[in-house]
Amino acid sequence: MGAEGGKEKEKQVRQTVTVEEVEALLSKLPGVLSSRVVVNDWGGVEEIHILATCERHPKQIVRNVESALAARWALHVDHKKISVAQLEEIPPSSLHQRFKLSQLESYAHTAQRRLQIKVRLGGPGEGEELEGLAEGPLTPGSARRIAAEAVLTALAPVLKPGVSLSVENVGSFRLGPYEAVAVLVNVLDPRGRPEPLLGAVLAEDDPAYDAVRATLDALNRRLGILAGRVPRKG
């Protein structure tokens, strides 16, 4: 009875595991960029597809997948059901980028009541460069939001397929004698699941400059997960 009770308990635990939970766990393994789990009508795992960097041998990644599933949910998957695809063009170092503002340009078209802001972002490696342009109405306070959107435009080419960014909100608040600027960025993963990211900096003289720094503060900590590659100048 004890053995049967144990099996029944294990079965109940497995029934509570979702595909999203399994994929979230596998995506946290070293070298794994993304994962996709295919199940049959009864919830059994039919296929596991892993997209990874080249920092680990495919057999090691497969063993890590097997061990993670067994340790977390006592879920044992035949290694033949696990496939690994690796991307040589994505070196591990490029997954931990921190971009910074290298140039900021603002154009106010008073006749059309429009404001254009262009940003150029430099990465940690030599020659890395991204450029983004955004435009919006020329109104009080619009420079911050337009600048934040320009940063997202610049970063768009390096995002993983299916990942999208949008500016949710931009605002300022007081911290004792200081003014701070905050930017809330909404991230959608390939499955459409949202994740809010908040960045904040102490305000300086230029609202657009403050917004760019706050936006980068929100995104730089997550670019290792969001970004798939970094283009190089030339």
What pLDDT digit, counting tens, does each position of 176-220 carry? 999 999 999 999 988 888 889 999 999 988 999 999 999 999 998
> What top-level class would CATH report for the domain 95-226?
alpha beta
Within 39-170, residue ranges assigned H as helices are: 58-73, 142-155
Q: Give me the mean pLDDT over the 57-80 stretch.
A: 92
The pLDDT of residue 97 is 64
For residue 154, is pLDDT > 50?
yes
The pLDDT of residue 230 is 52
For residue 72, is pLDDT > 80?
yes
| Contact predicate 129/122, CB 8 Å | yes
Helix (H) or strand (E) holding 165: strand 164-175
Where are the domains positioned within the chain? 2-86, 95-226
* Residues 36-53 pLDDT 10s: 999 988 888 999 999 988
**Crossing angle, helix 207-219 and helix 142-155, to 10 degrees?**
40
Q: Work out the pLDDT band at 14, boundaries 50, 70, 90.
A: very low
For residue 93, is pLDDT > 80?
no
* Residues 95-107 pLDDT 10s: 456 888 999 999 9
CATH dotted code for 2-86: 3.30.300.30
Residue 33: C-alpha distances to residues 38, 119, 142, 225, 226 (Å)? 17, 28, 36, 7, 9
Mean pLDDT of the chain: 84
The pLDDT of residue 11 is 46
At 205 the three-state DSSP class reads coil
